[in-house]
Amino acid sequence: MSDAGTTESTLLRELVGRLPGVQAPDELTLALMEYLAELKAWNARGNLVSQADVPRLVSRHVAESLAAVPLIDRIHPTQVLDLGSGGGFPIVPIKLARPELQVALVEARHLKSLFLRRVRERLDLRGFWVWNMRAEVLAGLPVAAQGASLEAASASANEGVPTMRPIVDLVTVRAVASLSELTRWSESLIASGGHLLAFKGSRLDQELAEWKTDPRGWSLEDVVPLSPEIRIVLFRRS
């Protein structure tokens, strides 16, 4: 194995070792390594992450994704929608760390959705759906007639795109839209008492100020700093 590979695997083991509630740390580390290998193989044609970020896939992207796990443990969701999933951060590492979660990934770009389906196949993930559509389109669909679960919404799918929307406990999102837009889209997707978890950068204070002018029944529950540039914002829907 190359020095870079050794460093990457060592960093992953350290991250997994610090994560609470992991029953099989070696298996989780291996699954994360397989995911990153697939991402690198697709990245040249799919631009899943910027080339500048490839050397820090673990130190930034995986680390930030796993940093959300304690917050998710605190709110105990069972069904999660990830909007604008792209290369799979944060939801793939979260799903690997908490395999009991039912997750649906919403990604508008066809090639990226194909990559996410490949990840599902390679890692043999259950309770993991990939929907090739825009988040705002999903938010405007009628509620699934046979129940509002991810499984029921997926059962309505035509060529992998559902015609009914689910109602979930948690929406996750990274680097997609403003907080005002996200709360507007998510209000039809999240049950009362459910949560929106968003990764935000340098514009967070400005976006929070804009959101406060029309909070739309949401309350700000927590802001968790991950670095000087990145913070996790947790909202609760009343």
Structure-token pair, residue 110: 């066809």
Total residues belonging to the chain:
238
Which pLDDT belongs to residue 69?
A: 97
pLDDT digits (tens, 9 = 90+) for 129-173: 999 999 999 999 999 777 789 999 998 888 779 999 999 999 999
Strand partners, 232: 199, 224
**Element housing 87 (H / E):** none
Which pLDDT belongs to residue 72?
A: 97
Which pLDDT belongs to residue 3?
A: 43
Contacts 24+ apart (CB under 8 A), 213-221: 214/180, 215/183, 216/183, 216/184, 216/187, 217/187, 218/183, 218/187, 221/195
Burial of 83 (0-12, 13-18, 19+ CB in 10 A): buried
Using an 8 Å Cβ cutoff, are 170 and 80 in contact?
yes
Question: What DSSP designation does 144 have?
Answer: P
Residues of the chain with pLDDT under 70: 1-6
CA 58 to chain centre: 16
Query: What CA–CA distance (Å, rounded) separates 147 from 87?
Result: 29
- What are the angstrom distances between the C-alpha of 25 and each of 12, 20, 107, 120? 10, 10, 29, 20
Amino acid residing at 51: Q
Which pLDDT belongs to residue 63?
A: 95
SS3 133: coil
Percentage helix, strand, coil, to 5, in the chain?
Answer: 45, 20, 30
